[in-house]
Amino acid sequence: MNNTILMYEELSLNAHPALQTQIYDGWVLRFANGYTNRANSINPLYMSTLDLREKITECEKRYFSHGLPALYKLTEDSDSNINKALDLLGYTAIDHTYVMCMDLPDKSFLSNDCITTSFADKEWLDAYFSFSNYTDDVKKSTTKQILENVKNTMICGRIVKDGVSVACGSAVIERGYMGLLNIVVDESKRGRGHGTAICESLLSAAKQLGAHTGYLQVVQENEKAVNLYTKLGYKTIYSYWYRTKKN
């Protein structure tokens, strides 16, 4: 795999950790109670030696036994034979996603009315759950566990207006690379620049902690988000998508 793509894939795995990870002949299998595709996917990142059909069948068994779909995360640099095999087996392609990045040293960002912490405190979690419309206790618990499992430097931020949270997001910094995650704005407060404000605030805080490069992942169909990140200075460096099959 291309070294740049592999690096960002590894950074992404660490920034959004699963609750359980298995290594299977060069493939990274992630499990997190079905919460987010990234944390519940099969990632063929490294050299493989076993028969491809045998591996796909084994992965199906492992995911189906947990009540999860078999879900592969493939980049434009993944082994084309995997994509072809999954296509023949009836796997559907979903959620085509851009990975975007930008250099930070020559850019400046506003801190805005942002409250930041080094972990997801109750106020941040309450805002995130509310803005994301999370009511399921399992989803809330899994989200909290994933955030607690982050082992690198984390920043959680909230934009507060008149004492009320209107947007939130987080960032994880590893080796100077800052991943932007969990950006969400209160639905009733959208269209007022709060999305830009939370992104700039997190970027500003990350720069102060020594981050030299920012990166993120955004679904290609989310045009508003793509436009926001492009205006901030992010540029697409590669794409990935998922191939999925239910039991």
- So what's the pLDDT on residue 174? 98
| 214: nearest Cα among 106, 97, 76 | 106
3-class SS string, the chain: CCHHHHHHHHHHHHHCCCCEEEEECCEEEEECCCCCCHHHCEEECCCCCCCHHHHHHHHHHHHHCCCCCEEEEEECCCCHHHHHHHHHCCCEEEEEEEEEEEECCCCCCCCCCEEEECCCCHHHHHHHHHHCCCCCHHHHHHHHHHHHCCCCEEEEEEEEECCEEEEEEEEEEECCEEEEEEEEECHHHCCCCHHHHHHHHHHHHHHHCCCCEEEEEEECCCHHHHHHHHHHCCEEEEEEEEEEECC
What is the arithmetic mean of pLDDT over 15-34? 97
| pLDDT surpassing 90 at residue 59 | yes
Give residue-wise pLDDT tens across range 83-122: 999 999 999 999 999 999 999 999 999 888 899 999 999 9
What is the arithmetic mean of pLDDT over 181-202? 95
- So what's the pLDDT on residue 149? 96
The mean of the pLDDT values for the chain is 96
- So what's the pLDDT on residue 111? 87
What is the arithmetic mean of pLDDT over 32-48? 96
What is the arithmetic mean of pLDDT over 51-55? 96
| pLDDT surpassing 80 at residue 46 | yes
Kindly report the pTM of this predicted structure.
0.95
172 pLDDT band, cuts 50/70/90, is: very high
235 pLDDT band, cuts 50/70/90, is: very high
- So what's the pLDDT on residue 113? 85
